[in-house]
Structure 1
Amino acid sequence: MNPDPLVDRLRAAGCVFAEEEAALLVDAADGTALEELVRRRVAGEPLEHVLGWVAFAGLRVAVAPGVFVPRRRTTHLVDVAAGVTPPGGTVVDLCCGTGAIGLAVATRVPGVVLHAVDVDPAAVACARDNLAGLGTAYAGDLVAPLPADLRGRVDVMTANVPYVPDDAVAQMPADSRDHEPRTTVAGGPDGLDVLRRVATLAADWLTPGGRLLSEVSAGQGPAALAVLRDAGLSAALDHGEEYDATVVVGIAAAPRALC
């Protein structure tokens, strides 16, 4: 296919970075019919689903159709998590999707013991492929499938929970709205329903001083702090200018010293 008409087709379909996408599609079509890939993209399927991978935090992460695509801004969550994870520490990645966050942390921090969980079997299949040799991915609801002996031993718990308020989902870009499960983006009336559940569970699973990290919108910051504090965690916000991303950080209390 002549690259110029390909760029024109992509641009006409609303692809802002048509030239870059054209090059990626041509490269991905090695041994595959290019026209089929282009047809899927022009029809509105996310580029990452068409390619079968997403560039995230300096890595190429496999992603399958129907699975949430990790966003560039979530690199800030990885940066914060990697900065507080000790070498050889235990990391639990809830709502893991493709496993991208855990994968990125495990590649930056030596010896990490990684456990990832998602309720969607398609996402878990992706995570198992991405985390092969680095961690274990479980299918289930939040901490339910985790080994019981992890309770009280988790150094860092990441949870990229769905945090879009329900009534704002309709305003999301069509490629996300139409091709990613609603459960991966819609977080209830104020977007914080799943974070409330995670915060309530976290204190039992974190080691004293362990961290719970979750991405929220800047506008949700004060409410997210209240959610973590109500669950017995001390809490702070960490905003990253590079990615314009906000992470709420909860810290489990250390046990009181006996007199």
Structure 2
Amino acid sequence: MNLLLAEVAQAAQRLADAGVPSPRFDAEELAAFVHGVKRGALHTVPDAEFDARYWEAVARREAREPLQHITGRAFFRYLELQVGPGVFVPRPETESVVGWAIDAVRAMDVAEPLIVDLCTGSGAIALALAQEVPRSRVHAVELSEQALEWARKNTAGSKVDLRHGDAFTAFPDLDGQVDLVISNPPYIPLTEWEHVAPEARDHDPELALFSGPDGLHAIRGIARAAHRLLRPGGVVVVEHADSQGGQVPWIFEEDAGWADAADHPDLNNRPRFTTARRAMP
């Protein structure tokens, strides 16, 4: 075993003792980042090139600073995104939400599907859709100016139309025309603050996490905005907490102009997102 791999093993134990959920992965990812190699090539780093800055990065992660803030990058589907303080770090759970949306759009008999991403954050969802559905027209909105700066960096050079504004009132120029609305809004109840993982609670912006006493305030607003934006037959997909699986579909009720409201599991088979279709007149 070379020096770097031995240090990674020690770092993984330190991270495990600190309660980091994926200590070995994080220890390897930090080593790869500091030494400028892929994780699978850590064994190729000569002992003489071991960089002591690795232990500075490990100490930051040990203090529960997000891995992505230390490396400045987050991976989402086929994307590598720039992230840091002021923007929500995209999670793997959201990849299944986007996967459902991509399948739904591809199944539509529409030449150039019109897509709106509400609460875009880093721009991960909008950019993934623009990349994986090349014929689509993708629009995204973000309220936080700090998050918007990260989204601008990530969507620069893409076809995503990125705007600054409130998700509940955004895109009045697209009312009744949109084929798919997608959102990963804030959905944590304010009463759950102390139970949130330190990486999120202490580093993700509160605007992207918490949403009223029951966590559903933003989702209710997204439902109203989506109904305004969608054409009849258009679909909405909204991420939520696994504990909200029995509640969110009821927000998209028939009396409010919706049809086919249903919940869907993530890769861990936990209820993760709700879809619904704007009812035909």
Instruction: Measure, in 2, the Cα distance between the counterparts of 1:123 and 1:166.
Output: 21
Corresponding position of 2:211? 187
Q: Which amino acid aligns with 1:21?
A: D
Name the counterpart of 1:61: 81
The more displaced of 107-116 and 9-18 is 9-18
Structure 1 residue 99, shift from structure 2 partner? 1.2
AA aligned opposite 2:215: G
TM-score between both structures, scaled by the size of structure 2: 0.82
Asked whether the 8 Å contact 1:199–1:231 carries over to 2, the reply is: no
User: Which residue matches 2:47?
Assistant: none
Gaps of 5+ in 1: none
Q: C-alpha distance in 2, partners of 1:82/1:11?
A: 36
Aligned to 2:259: 234
- AA paired with 2:117? D
Asked if the contact 2:168–2:221 (Cα under 8 Å) also holds between the matched residues in 1, the reply is no
State TM-score, norm by structure 1: 0.88
> What is the distance in 1 between the residues matched to 2:155 and 2:115?
13
Kindly state the Cα deviation for residue 83 of structure 1 after the two structures are TM-superposed: 1.3
> How far is 1:145 from its partner?
4.5
Instruction: Calculate percent identity across the aligned residue pairs.
Output: 35
The residue that corresponds to 2:138 in the other structure is 114
Give runs of aligned pairs for residues 101-180 of structure 1, distance below 5 A.
101-132=125-156, 133-146=158-171, 148-180=172-204
Q: CA deviation at 1:220?
A: 2.3
Aligned partner letter, 2:89: V
How far the C-alpha of 1:189 sits from its partner, in A, is: 1.5
1:251 corresponds to which residue? 277
Change in 2 beyond 3 A, CA 1:18/1:246: closer
Structure 1 residue corresponding to 2:30, chosen from 25, 28, 33: 25
C-alpha distance 49-235 of structure 1, shift in aligned 2 (>3 A) = farther
RMSD of the alignment, in Å?
2.2
The alignment covers a number of residue pairs equal to 254
Q: How much has 1:210 moved relative to structure 2?
A: 0.8
Q: Once the 2 structures are TM-superposed, how far is the Cα of residue 158 of structure 1 from its aligned partner?
A: 0.6
Match of 2:248 among 210, 224, 248: 224
More divergent stretch after superposition (203-212 vs 241-250): 241-250
Of the candidates 14, 25, 29, which is equivalent to residue 19 of structure 2?
A: 14
| Aligned residue identity for 1:246 | R
Larger Rg: 2
